[in-house]
A and B are shown apart, each in its own frame.
Chain A
């Protein structure tokens, strides 16, 4: 958004009516689960404002160098992201074949996203070899470890909670951060393609998410496990952004 627009204040062109999901009526457990997931997300999103690097986006002091630091630190997670999603798919047995198909197609969508991120890094003024040489930071290690562990367990429906947080963040990057970063850093669109790309097909992703939630979240136990995993992933994701490696190796 730039100063001349009021999209935040409802001046945007889309209205609720235009975006309302068609025919989604969740079962009552899935509804409760979604209520709790919304709270986990809103708390996560609010607390991201406390992360020093990201607070600079809010305050308008984020620089092109900050953007390079950001990209260097999330690349590993993006690479590993496609691995845990693919492993999750393979951990579902035949009773969950619909979900398995859905997750496989999701993994296909995203498994080479990191290449886009590397191009953004170069467009922001960074050297390709610098980002290629980065290791996982402390938070990325924890997040990756947790996700690979959970995705290796049989029928890991709780990972819907992980998808909720990570997809939500993709949407936030596209709709709240990308333009703002261009505006305050003077960087071009070429530097935020990874962020903006995740805003595409957004409502389609939500439909897919709701459909899976409705089919697997059918009791208290499912609610608890999905919500707990969303909380762990939210915390570890924030840790990854707090444990930023500022220097090049």
Chain B
């Protein structure tokens, strides 16, 4: 059974926030501007982003609301009745409630009766896990249509109060703690939704799903991006091992961390996975018309990419497209928000038969995921 993405939707909360206003939203820790903000923002090159919290760090939209709004837009644009949707798969790094799964909450808001649900847990690649499960479900002909939603509300983890409360943490101990600040100036909020069907939409472009693959390297590499530990190599406790959650918070075990030293491995494993797909004959670099990458191209401007070009397996930069710089890095939601805009933007010319390669790497513990779509006209 061939499966198509027949509709998309996206939701970005509040106004677009330019770089110099980011700290007004997230708040200056103890009233002092961050000494790392400008440097990190310069490196990630994101110009504007959105937050579901206001300048008092109060939540303006829950994660469930954002997911639901994106899903509603996706369903409103679809050519089928919502009763046809047999499955809802929802991905997020952290739903509003640790339990039950976020899909339950989104289903309730969407009022989709008696459907099959799936919540995937992870970071950026959790959206691809949800998409793959939904795709497989349609391939097995269990449903005619499935809705896949990914939504992220990272700012709740990044607001100043989190850092101020971490009084005995590595953040409090160091003048500069790169690992806890790096993602603070990188991530932002948003949601995206895709409708999968067993036939293309009668009008306009649909995206046929050709394949979805993933390669995880957790067996070999240390944890790179995480929440739940204090970030000291000798301390094996995780947040639930502390006597109280308050102690875990004080110790910085609830801060979002990124070991930037290990990040280089993500590009390397990304290249390895792609070369594997090329070796298997699954992907042909010369046949890729558009490359949608969750990472921005400038991160890849290094030796390994030059080697890929020399080896004849590179994808020319003019085929790369992203909206990361204007919509922000919304983690798991990024690719869906990107696909939604890709089909509507004037920046690229999309035509029937075009092949779209998507790459979503997750630095958590190095999971690299890839998919290929082909543009079809209904």
Complexed CA–CA distance, A248 and B308 (Å): 43
- The CA-CA distance from A146 to B206 in the complex, in Å, is 55
Within the assembled complex, what's the spacing in Å between the Cα atoms of A58 and B265? 11
Residues in chain B near residue A36, CB distance under 8 A: 275, 279
A46 within 8 A of B: yes
Give the contacts of A12-64 with B (CB-CB under 8 A): 15-17, 19-21, 24, 26, 28, 31-32, 34-36, 38-39, 42-43, 45-47, 49-50, 55, 58-61
Stretch at the interface among A2-10, A105-113, A154-162, A187-195: A2-10
CB distance from B370 to the nearest CB of A (A): 15
Residues of B within 8 A of A (CB): 39-40, 42-44, 174, 176-178, 217, 220-222, 233-234, 260-265, 268-269, 271-272, 275-276, 278-279, 298-299, 301-313
**B42 and chain A: residue at smallest CB distance:** A11
Contact of A16 with B310 at beta-carbon distance under 8 Å, contacts A10-B299, A59-B222, A176-B264 already known: no
Which residues from A are CB-within-8-Å of B44?
9
CA distance A58 to B365 in the complex (A): 13
Q: Is A150 an interface residue (CB 8 A)?
A: no
Whether A210 is near chain B, meaning CB under 8 Å from some CB there, is yes
Q: Are the C-beta atoms of B176 and A3 separated by less than 8 Å? A: yes
Partner of B310, one of A6, A9, A24: A24
CA distance A244 to B272 in the complex (A): 28
CB distance from B49 to the nearest CB of A (A): 17
Closest to A24 in B: B310
Residue contact B301 to A15, C-beta cutoff 8 Å: yes
Interface residues of A (CB under 8 A from B): 1, 3-4, 6, 8-11, 15-17, 19-21, 24, 26, 28, 31-32, 34-36, 38-39, 42-43, 45-47, 49-50, 55, 58-61, 176, 180, 210
Tell me the complex Cα distance, A198–B315, Å: 30
Question: CB within 8 A of A58: which of B262, B279, B305, B308?
Answer: B262
Measured CB to CB, the nearest residue on chain B to A36 is: B279
* Given known contacts A3-B176, A35-B313, A58 and B39 CB-to-CB distance under 8 angstroms: no
Contacts of A8 in B (CB 8 A): 260-261, 263-264
Inter-chain pairs besides A38-B307, A47-B220, 12 sampled, C-beta below 8 Å: A6-B260, A10-B43, A17-B301, A19-B303, A35-B312, A36-B275, A38-B272, A39-B272, A42-B275, A46-B217, A46-B220, A58-B261
Cα(A20)–Cα(B263), bound, Å? 23
Given A59-B233, A176-B264: A11 and B311 within 8 A (CB)? no
Closest to B36 in A: A4
Partner of A28, one of B42, B234, B298, B312: B312
A26 to B299, CA, bound (A): 25
If A16-B301, A28-B312, A39-B279 touch, does A34 touch B307 (CB 8 Å cutoff)? yes
- Sampled A-B contacts (25; CB under 8 Å): A3-B176, A4-B176, A8-B261, A8-B263, A9-B40, A9-B263, A11-B42, A15-B298, A20-B306, A24-B310, A31-B313, A35-B279, A38-B304, A38-B308, A39-B272, A42-B271, A45-B268, A46-B217, A46-B269, A46-B272, A50-B220, A58-B261, A58-B262, A59-B233, A210-B310
- In the bound complex, what is the Cα–Cα distance between A39 and B278 (angstroms)? 11
CA distance A15 to B309 in the complex (A): 14
Cβ contact of A26, chosen from B39, B177, B220, B311, cutoff 8 A: B311
Identity of the chain A residue whose Cβ is nearest the Cβ of B303 in the assembled complex: A19
Distance in Å from the Cβ of A137 to the closest Cβ of chain B? 22
Question: How far does the alpha carbon of A26 sit from the alpha carbon of B343 in the complex, in Å?
Answer: 36
**CB-CB nearest in chain B for A48:** B220
What residues on B are CB-neighbors of A45 within 8 Å?
A: 268
Q: In the complex, which residue of chain A has the Cβ closest to the Cβ of B299? A: A10
Query: A46 vs B263: C-alpha distance in the bound complex, in angstroms?
Result: 12
Asked if A49 and B260 make an inter-chain contact with CB atoms under 8 angstroms apart, the answer reads no
